[in-house]
Chain A
Amino acid sequence: MSKKYQLKKLSTRRYQILAAILIVLAAGLVLLPENPKHEGIAPNLFINKAMSTERYLSTDLIADKMINKDPSVLLVDVRSETEFAKFSLPNAVNIPLSKFLDEEFEETINQDVYDIVLFSNDNFMANEAWLLGNRLGYSNLFVMKGGLNEWFNTIISPKIPEETMPREAFELYAFRKAAGMYFGLGTTEVPEVKPVIEKCSCSCSCKFPCKRPGKSCSKRKKEEKCSGRRLLIYCCPLDY
């Protein structure tokens, strides 16, 4: 009788007993030896990311974005604080590489609102920061290709293109010079641009063979041609 009573008592308390066992087991988990926990992405993914050159943005592109006040771009200088104090790009934020993984900067680096452009003197240190961030799975990190050295070579003192270079090279040079002015270089004197008067460039074609070559259009007739009335006949006057 008493045994049955005890069993009944146990069965009514079975949930409490089960819970107690679970708690004991959970406590055991804490005592387990610490396994090396894998942090961030897998090595094969990491190596794929490290190989790709997608992260590099050219200085021209960044200058363009800065001038257009692109709100989605955040420039991050990963050099030391002293170097940052001496010179940095306008509106850049300083996160030294030594503090790159600190908690206070994590919410700046690990988010998906801004495109973060990392730069340093070269792109080596910026790359170090980029790789560290990417291992932890941070997206939206970019590297300014060539760093500040490239910035000085392109935007601050661009090379004058040679005369034989294509038109694009001159346009790029003009852009870089203008960008340099925007970043506070030189006087913003605008050179006087002489209006170009378009000369009469009518190239009329004569459908009829000239019987008496050597005769040209008369002045008046030429003017008429230039004014837009393209009269084919006037090309070869008198004979057709």
Chain B
Amino acid sequence: MKELEKTKRISISAVIFLLVIVIALLTYRRPKHLFSTDSKTTLNEMLGKDYIISSNGLKALDTSSYILIDIRSSYEYNKGHFPKAINIANNEVLNDENIQLLNSLSEDKKIAVLYGVNPNDALGTWMTIYQLGHPNSKILSVETKYVDKVFVANDLQIEQPIVNYAATLDSLKSKKIVVIETPKKIEKKEAPEGCGSGRKKEKKCSRRRMLISTF
């Protein structure tokens, strides 16, 4: 009897064991997209700064060798964009059609030139595309905005210090500081119900009353 129980237990646990393995195999799903470029390579590409292209650099290129990609939302894209630019919103990069498009660009050896509100905006998308295995992608160093509903792009220098930090700090250290006082808070006084306390208020009061009395 005892022996039988033992075998029962063994067979039950074996079945459970097999079930776990089968379920694990069935539910295992390989992620659809995987990065094919490792972060060391990406870092080297970043340090080279070759991936940032200025608008002048773009002009020097043959127009058929690159394609402009607007990574802003489709709403912004429809408001205004570069001529011939296509729209891949930055949160839709991994959509099937976009992936296909990027793959076809890679096959044709075309350069994907990304731009957004500013280069910083396009950085995350560039890095995703680059690491997915599209080394022919660049960021256009422009700042785009709307001036009177017209799409305008200005050149932008990345990582340019606005001042000479150390020198400015030294010159400021010898300066006196001007303190501007914070304006005082004005509290609303309760409006007197009847006549006010001062003479003026009472006068006002009286005028009003006079008016009322004449009507």
A residues bordering B, Cβ < 8 Å? 36, 38-40, 42-44, 46-48, 50-51, 86-87, 97-98, 100-101, 120-125, 127-128, 131-132, 135-136, 148-149, 152-153, 156-157, 160-161, 163, 167, 170-171, 173-174, 177, 180-181, 184-189, 191, 196, 201-210, 213-217, 222, 225, 234-236
Contact = CB atoms under 8 A, between A and B. Distances in A.
A136 B39 contact: yes
B194 A122 contact: no
Interface stretch (B19-27, B53-61, B88-96, B144-152): B88-96
B35 A185 contact: no
A53 B98 CA distance: 24
Contacts of A188: 177
A184 B173 contact: yes
SS of A interface (majority): loop
B193 A205 contact: yes
The 6 closest A-B pairs by CB, nearest first: A50-B124, A213-B206, A206-B194, A186-B177, A87-B165, A87-B166
B156 to A, nearest CB: 10
B127 A131 contact: yes
B203 A128 contact: no
B194 A207 contact: yes
A48 B177 CA distance: 45
B197 A235 contact: yes
Given A213-B209, A225-B197, A236-B195, A50 B180 contact: no
B169 interface: yes
A132 B47 CA distance: 12
A100 B43 contact: yes
Nearest to A157: B172
Interface string B102-125: 000000000000000001100111
Contact of B199 (A163, A180, A216): A216
B190 interface: yes
Given A125-B159, A207-B193, A213-B206, A38 B199 contact: no
Interface in B178-215: 179-185, 189-199, 202-203, 205-206, 209
A47 B94 contact: yes
Given A46-B128, A132-B42, A210 B173 contact: no
A162 to B, nearest CB: 11
A209 B212 CA distance: 13
Interface in B30-72: 31-36, 38-40, 42-43, 46-47
Contacts of A174: 179-180, 182
B168 interface: yes
Nearest to A186: B177
B160 interface: yes
B131 interface: yes
Nearest to A50: B124
Contacts of B202: 210, 213-216
B31 A205 contact: no
